């Protein structure tokens, strides 16, 4: 009689066993669903005009502009430093304006004109900023350099266009290419090697040269 009582299942026992058996099944199904949703993403067609050439791509809409350049177009000049918008190594020009390409999705740039370090100049015909970086030793390891050069080009264009910065004293006057003005505008481009003074000298030389 006592043994029979021990064998009797209570409603609570049944529910507990059902939950115990069902949980791994439910978790497994959810995991499978997650894996499917991560991999089964509809790719989107887009065209980026990169360094003067139209490049057609079909990308997972979550692909950053940086990864589309490096991984899909094999333009590895643009560097991935932090991948969080904090170092500037991934700086490229989009329609002439500098952006951190790690913070922007490629699909947002369908039809946009992108200039990377490969498009600024060639080894035989360097952009003046590239030549000035070489002349003034504006780099050591060179990892930040493509981003620094793209940013430096954009900075001089910003100053020329009269766009003020936090360091511009008189907002009614045109900003000038002073050392402090250029350093402030370049503050988003980090150089672990500390080539900042030489970069400033390179920029000053280009700023002084006739357009």
The rounded Cα 156 to chain-centroid distance in angstroms is 21
Of 59 and 195, the one with the shorter C-beta distance to ligand FES is 195
Give helix 196-208 / helix 128-135 axis angle, nearest 10°: 130
Scanning 5-13, 34-42, 76-84, 203-211 for contacts with ligand FES by CB under 6 A, the matching segment is 76-84
CB nearer to ligand FES: give 48 or 149: 149
Q: Is 196 in the site for ligand FES (CB under 6 A)?
A: no
CB of 88 vs ligand FES, minimal distance in Å:
5
- In this structure, the number of other CB atoms found within 10 A of the CB of residue 182 comes to 23
Task: Return the residue matching tokens 């329609």.
Answer: 95
DSSP strand pairing (44-50 vs 91-94):
unpaired
Cβ closest to ligand FES, residue 50 vs residue 102 = 102
112 binds ligand FES (CB under 6 A): no
Q: Give, in degrees to the nearest 5, the angle at Cα 39 between 108 and 37.
A: 90
* 29 is a site residue for ligand FES (CB under 6 A): no
The two tokens of residue 174 are 């045109």
The yes or no reply on residue 191 touching ligand FES (CB under 6 A) is yes
Residues that bind ligand FES in the complex, under the rule CB under 6 A: 80-83, 85-90, 100, 102, 139-145, 191-193, 195
């Amino acid at each position: 009689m006592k043994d029979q009582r021990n064998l009797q299942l209570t409603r609570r026992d049944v529910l507990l066993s059902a939950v115990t058996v069902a949980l791994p099944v439910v978790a497994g199904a959810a995991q499978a669903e997650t894996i499917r949703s991560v991999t089964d993403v509809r790719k989107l067609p887009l065209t980026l005009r990169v360094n003067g050439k139209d490049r057609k791509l079909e990308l997972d809409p979550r692909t950053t502009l940086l990864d589309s350049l490096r991984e899909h177009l094999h333009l590895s000049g643009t560097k991935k430093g932090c991948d969080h918008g904090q170092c500037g190594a991934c700086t490229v020009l989009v329609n002439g304006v500098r952006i951190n390409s790690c913070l922007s999705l490629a699909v947002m740039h369908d039809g946009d004109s992108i200039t990377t370090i490969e498009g600024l100049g060639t080894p035989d015909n360097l952009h003046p900023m590239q030549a000035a970086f070489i002349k003034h030793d504006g780099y050591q390891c060179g990892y930040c350099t493509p981003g620094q050069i793209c940013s430096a080009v954009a900075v001089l264009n910003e100053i020329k266009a009269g766009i003020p910065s936090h360091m511009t004293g008189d907002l009614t006057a045109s900003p000038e290419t002073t050392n402090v003005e250029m350093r402030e505008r370049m503050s988003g481009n980090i150089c672990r090697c500390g080539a900042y003074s030489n970069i400033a000298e390179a920029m000053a030389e280009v700023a002084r040269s006739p357009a």
